[in-house]
Amino acid sequence: MTGLSHLGVSSLLSYVAAVLLPAFDALIPVLPSETAVIALGVATADSADPRAALLVALAACGAFLGDNAAYLLGRRFGPSASRRVFAGERGARRRAWAERSLHWFGARMIIGCRFIPGGRTAVTLTCGLVGYPRRRFVVATAFASVIWASYAFLIGRLGGKAFEDQPWLGLLLALGVTVAISAAIEAARRARAWQVNRRARAWHLSSSGSAGSSR
């Protein structure tokens, strides 16, 4: 947490972290890109320097570049990329979920996957694997990147404002809020998937019953 003192609009480290972590996080999901952007918000909470907007812009650019790198990876190295990222039964389920979600929601899923744990890499790579239209993907990821960077930075700023004298508490608060929001989104996603599956089963049983009676 003491590292917060080294972040700010005058620190080169802030600008480097703002663009690189969101970019590489698309390919290496363990990188703490959201935590980094939130920390930047906390560290600059007491500053009115317009360069804070540059940090948000760089984070959005990094996220955009990472998303499109994952897309190109899936597009150009489909089978090998799929074997590495979607290895095993769990990986196969993640890819199946991503394909279903893209089929149901399209660009909305590309935007929303940033707020679903593990969703960003699965969806952006799958877009490349299935040949999702590139132009639509670019537009959706541009929106997603701006929304995500602004959201994470703003939550960090609010946490930093709440605990101006104890920024590490502000960071913990902001992280707690993002975890709660992600959990709520994931719960809503699972509830929606359950409803869709239930309707599909009901339709299948109804169709089977109608076919049987017609005989």
What digits encode the pLDDT tens for the residues 37-95? Answer: 999 999 888 888 889 999 999 999 999 999 999 999 999 988 888 888 888 888 888 88
27 or 62, higher pLDDT: 62
Closest CA to 41 of 13, 68, 72, 8: 8
For residues 157-173, give the mean pLDDT: 81
CA distance 60 to 148: 7
Question: Is residue 200 predicted with pLDDT exceeding 70?
Answer: no
Predicted local distance difference test score (pLDDT) of residue 215: 53
For residues 126-132, give the mean pLDDT: 92
Query: Nearest-5° angle of CA 185, CA 187, CA 192?
Result: 95
Predicted local distance difference test score (pLDDT) of residue 161: 83
Predicted local distance difference test score (pLDDT) of residue 15: 93
CA distance 87 to 191: 26
For residues 27-36, give the mean pLDDT: 87
Closest CA to 44 of 59, 32, 62, 56: 56
113 or 150, higher pLDDT: 150
Question: Is residue 159 predicted with pLDDT exceeding 60?
Answer: yes
Total domains in the fold of the chain: 1
Predicted local distance difference test score (pLDDT) of residue 1: 44
Our measurement of the distance from residue 40's CA atom to the centroid of its chain's CA atoms, rounded to an integer in Å, reads 18
Predicted local distance difference test score (pLDDT) of residue 207: 64
- Count each helix (H run) and each strand (E run) in the chain, helices first: 9, 0
Domain enclosing residue 68, as ranges: 2-214
Question: Is residue 137 predicted with pLDDT exceeding 90?
Answer: yes
